[in-house]
Amino acid sequence: MLNPNLDTIELTKDDYERYSRHLILPEVGVDGQKKLKAASVLCIGSGGLGSPLLLYLAAAGIGRIGLVDFDIVDFSNLQRQIIHGTSWVGKPKIQSAKNRILEINPFCQVDLYETQINSENALDIIAPYDIIVDGTDNFPTRYLTNDACVLLNKPNVYGSIFRFEGQATVFNYEGGPNYRDLYPEPPPPGMVPSCAEGGVLGVLPGIIGTIQATETIKIILGAKNTLSGRLLLYNALDMKFRELKLRPNPERPVIEKLIDYEQFCGIPQAKAAEAAQQAAMEEITVTELKAIIDGDADDYVLIDVRNPHEYDIAQIPGSTLIPLPDIEQGDGVEQVRALLADGKKLIAHCKMGGRSAKALGILQEAGISGINVKGGIKAWSEEVDPSVPLY
């Protein structure tokens, strides 16, 4: 209801006190605060982007907030997901988020959808809300959210983050572009690392999520200069903002229905290929690796294919660091070949087993066979040596 009947909306005495700094802004005023109170916003995700977004939307006086999430709070979330606290670790994120929202604004209606949004439920979940905010971190859900917003004619406030860089824009608003104008096709699976693999500066989602909150509030107020048609790029290391123009592509396919977005993004195919590769690859468990190490065997080489800064956090005794990027570029292949010159067998590990399997696949093509450590150093910490930090 982006154009509500303001005569039917009343501000209470508490509202006048709570939102006094809004009310004295000519661009907001009483009518603007009534619009915020009448508005409904759906946030998909309550992680790094959703945390600041939800806090500021609640504080701004949004009358109804919907939240979609099916994850639980983890210790590793707390570095950037500021809506959650230590006491909520192991509990549902949406319950944690609702608790914090109501602490900020007990008059906000909070709707919870503790489910994974998909092609079967997306239209029903999204339909009741005025504005949709994309706080997700994967391509299938981004395409799904975009297409559902196009079909239902809902503004889609978009943000994404990785390491030190973030971007934000507004899709599908007043004839502006949508997500498929920015990314007509998804990248191959695995080409873009997740934050769990590549890391993210803790304050970065705070900046991008706050920008998303700002754009959401501006749309509700009817402000003209939104990010629709403009992609805002932010680099935290350089402390620089850049802006790119976005335009609708007249040749883009017409969105007529929701599809299988996992299939569209190649996820099942990639998982099948990975499963086939692992089935053909010899593996050992971390307990079997420990037995080899404890037996003082000298007929093997254990390589760690993680990045150097990960190696600084934790190591398995006797491992040699040869990062996966070095193996992909070829130099690492020759390093491995040199280590095996005396006929030793190769064992490889990473954080959880995926990157080491990829490294062994590359090495196999170069004529070097090896054994993968199932579960990587994470399993080592959980099953063998709890003093090894989890990260």
> Is 195 a catalytic site residue?
yes
Side-chain half-sphere CA neighbours of 157 within 13 A: 28
**Alpha-carbon gap, residue 342 to 100, rounded angstroms:** 60
Question: Which tokens go with 81?
Answer: 């997901």
Asked if residues 112 and 95 have their Cβ atoms less than 8 Å apart, the reply is yes
Side-chain half-sphere CA neighbours of 369 within 13 A: 6
Helix (H) or strand (E) holding 269: helix 267-279
Question: Which tokens go with 56?
Answer: 């500021």
Question: Which tokens go with 67?
Answer: 């939240």
Q: Which of 43, 108, 195, 265 is catalytic?
A: 195
Asked if residues 311 and 321 have their Cβ atoms less than 8 Å apart, the reply is yes
Which of 66, 64, 68, 67 is CA-nearest to residue 107?
64
Helix (H) or strand (E) holding 67: strand 64-68
**Alpha-carbon gap, residue 139 to 166, rounded angstroms:** 15
Measured at the CA of 361, the angle between CA 286 and CA 350, to 5 degrees, comes to 35
Query: Computed from CA positions of residues 224, 227, 229, 235, in that sequence, does the dihedral angle turn out positive or negative?
Result: positive
Q: Which of 108, 149, 265, 350 is catalytic?
A: 350
> Is 108 a catalytic site residue?
no
Residues tagged active-site = 195, 350
